[in-house]
Amino acid sequence: MKKKAAVIGYGGMGGWHVDHILKSDVVTLAGIYDIKEERRALAESRGIRAYSSREELLADPEIELVTVATPNDVHEEIVIASLEAGKNTLSEKPVTLSLESLERMIAASKKAGRIFSVHQNRRFDVDYLAMKKIHDSGEIGEIIDLESRIHGSRGIPSDWRSQKEYGGGMLYDWGIHLIDQALMVLGFDVESVRCTCDHITNDEVDDGFKLYIDLKSGKKAYIEVETYNFIAMPRFYMRGRGGTAMITDWREKAHIAKCKAWNESDVLPVETAAGITKTMAPRDSITMDEYDIERPVSDVHDYYRNLVRAIDGLEEQFVTHDQMRTDLKVILKAFESDAKGGDRVYF
Ligand SMILES: NC(=O)c1ccc[n+]([C@@H]2O[C@H](COP(=O)([O-])OP(=O)(O)OC[C@H]3O[C@@H](n4cnc5c(N)ncnc54)[C@H](O)[C@@H]3O)[C@@H](O)[C@H]2O)c1
């Protein structure tokens, strides 16, 4: 039987959750609560039950799962209230804004004996899944490094995301997705972090950042989120000892280039205006194999399917508490590094 779920915070992402729960084969919607009267009225106009208070929602004995989709600064308070009411609880990302806060949430979940996880839904993005598959299958050999970028051109949204007190800024907003994806590909064994933040359209919070993560395995990740780029760089770029993989845009396939004749000696030098170079001469089909790989198939509904199976004790939850700790710690260390002018900060 489907489990009853409710959503607290009926804004942009709360609306997404409601739509997905309504289409789900494992959960059914009990209703929503939003602090704003007009959002509750909007839900009711759509035939969705709007609870009149958080307390009323949490007191409904039929609800087994609560999704929290409010601004980031109030995740902790609502998640803990939900767990204490005996509800399994899913927080939107970023789970919260400090490690102490996260530990309080994890402790509340252990005490209540209820599932507590965070919505890292971008683990279902097919561009990321393609990179993970290339990494895990050894398609381009042992991986050296991974670059993951998203470039927008519209600045940071002018809502709560542009304000520090709500947990705004791009590290918390998009950084958390790209950090989680990179660690899912390369491993969660973080050794150190270096980061510089940008403030092109906003002085209060980062409207972009450049982040290097060094792993204990020797692999390296470079993550860049920017909101002031009118030409976007490739979405993903990964180097292995046997080749290179690139995805130009998140709607595109992964392109692979493998070198089949490393020691080709009769390379034609490239002539540029100021001289010649053999080192940087491009390769051709005599020494290279190039091809695209099919986009993986993914279904984001698997997120709620996993949650329900985790509630029933049949599977481990998709995003574990340790992964939540590491993802958040990378962000906090990134802020620390930025405050030190981009110096390396150890984990
Ligand atoms: N996983 C994703 O892909 C994704 C995408 C967008 C946003 N998010 C996350 O979802 C959360 C919400 O973002 P959004 O874009 O929907 O913001 P939003 O501003 O559109 O919606 C937030 C809603 O929460 C309500 N709210 C605020 N405080 C509340 C409280 N104490 N109790 C009940 N309701 C409250 C607001 O009235 C508003 O309707 C954030 O944590 C954000 O990072 C995740």
Residue 143 has what pLDDT?
Answer: 97
Q: How far is the CA of 45 from the centre of ligand 1 (A)?
A: 20
Over the stretch 22-58, which tens digit does the pLDDT of each residue have? 999 999 999 999 999 999 999 999 999 999 999 999 9
Top-tier CATH class for 123-299+329-346 = alpha beta
| Nearest atom within ligand 1 for CA of residue 10 | 39
Identify the three-state secondary structure at position 38. helix
User: CB burial class (10 A; 0-12, 13-18, 19+) of residue 76?
Assistant: buried
Pairing status of strand 220-226 against strand 208-215: antiparallel
Our mutation pick for probing the ligand 1 site, out of 17, 34, 327, counting the most ligand atoms within 8 A of Cβ, is 34
Residue 284 has what pLDDT?
Answer: 83
Q: By alpha-carbon position, which residue is closest to atom 7 of ligand 1?
A: 13
| Nearest atom within ligand 1 for CA of residue 15 | 16
Our mutation pick for probing the ligand 1 site, out of 67, 70, 162, counting the most ligand atoms within 8 A of Cβ, is 70
Over the stretch 136-147, which tens digit does the pLDDT of each residue have? 999 999 999 999
Does domain 3-119 bear CATH number 3.30.70.260?
Answer: no
Q: How far is the CA of 74 from the centre of ligand 1 (A)?
A: 10
Bridge partner list, 346: 192
| Nearest atom within ligand 1 for CA of residue 120 | 1
Q: By alpha-carbon position, which residue is closest to atom 32 of ligand 1?
A: 35
What is the largest distance, in Å, between two alpha-carbon atoms of the chain?
77
Domain regions of the chain by residue span: 3-119, 123-299+329-346
Identify the three-state secondary structure at position 306. helix
Mean pLDDT by 10 residues, the chain (347 residues): 97 98 98 98 98 98 98 98 98 98 98 98 97 97 97 94 96 98 98 98 96 98 98 97 96 94 77 89 88 95 97 97 98 98 98
Residue 265 has what pLDDT?
Answer: 65
Residue 264 has what pLDDT?
Answer: 67
Residue 172 has what pLDDT?
Answer: 98
Residue 280 has what pLDDT?
Answer: 87
| Nearest atom within ligand 1 for CA of residue 77 | 31
Our mutation pick for probing the ligand 1 site, out of 92, 95, 120, 124, counting the most ligand atoms within 8 A of Cβ, is 92
- Determine if residue 31 is left, alpha or beta; phi over 0 gives left, psi from -120 to 50 gives alpha, anything else beta: left
- Integer Cα distance of 170 and 167 in angstroms: 10
Q: How far is the CA of 72 from the centre of ligand 1 (A)?
A: 7
Identify the three-state secondary structure at position 196. strand
Cα 344 to Cα 58, 145, 181, 195, 333: the distances in Å are 44, 18, 21, 8, 9
Question: Ligand 1: which residues within 6 Å by Cβ?
Answer: 8-14, 33-36, 39, 69-72, 74, 92-93, 119, 121, 159-160, 173
| Nearest atom within ligand 1 for CA of residue 70 | 24
Our mutation pick for probing the ligand 1 site, out of 7, 13, 97, counting the most ligand atoms within 8 A of Cβ, is 13
- The number of C-alpha atoms within 13 Å of 11 and in the hemisphere containing its C-beta is 11
Q: How far is the CA of 310 from the centre of ligand 1 (A)?
A: 24
Q: How far is the CA of 182 from the centre of ligand 1 (A)?
A: 24
